[in-house]
Amino acid sequence: MGSFDVPLEDGRTQLEAFVEEHRAAIEAALDGLSEDQARRRLVPSATTLLGLLKHVTWMQRVWFEECVGGTSRRELGLVGNPDESFRLSDDDTVASVTAAHREACATARAAVADLPLDAVVTGHRTGPRTLHWVYLQVLRELAQHCGHADILREQVLAG
């Protein structure tokens, strides 16, 4: 269900539709690309199409597993900061990073399934916030990185 399918639904349904739409879009940026294309660096930073998907996977794990779930980054085996989350290992492939993203999304859905939007979650190191805020933060990051992915994909396909 996309965002245009829920214009009169409750706020939770709308937020979830937008988040799901962007989760699918960031994955779709890799559709039909070779491993080399997915890894191609076109900007001075470590940002690549595959790195973007790896980063949004990390980001969602931070917000849903650390912040909502209360498990530390160390316990989750996550790198400590956003810059590190873009870095690809030799073992990272389109298939493996996509699978990790899908697993993180499923875990996120389960973590919030029984929580109301006004639930206060306390697992993030910068302090408590509402679940509604977490959804907005995740949506903001996904939207931003989908835009990056659109531009990078266009450059990869043109090159």
pLDDT of residue 8: 87
Residue 27 — very low, low, confident or very high, per pLDDT cuts 50/70/90?
Answer: very high
> HEC states along the chain?
CCHHHCCCCCHHHHHHHHHHHHHHHHHHCCCCCCHHHHHCCCCCCCCCHHHHHHHHHHHHHHHHHHHHCCCCHHHHCCCCCHHHHCCCCCCCCHHHHHHHHHHHHHHHHHHHCCCCCCCEECCCCCCCEEHHHHHHHHHHHHHHHHHHHHHHHHHHHHC
Is residue 46 over pLDDT 90?
A: no
Q: Is the pLDDT of residue 91 over 90?
A: yes
pLDDT beyond 90 at 1 = no
Percent of the chain with pLDDT over 70: 100
pLDDT at 123 over 90: yes
**Global model pTM greater than 0.75:** yes
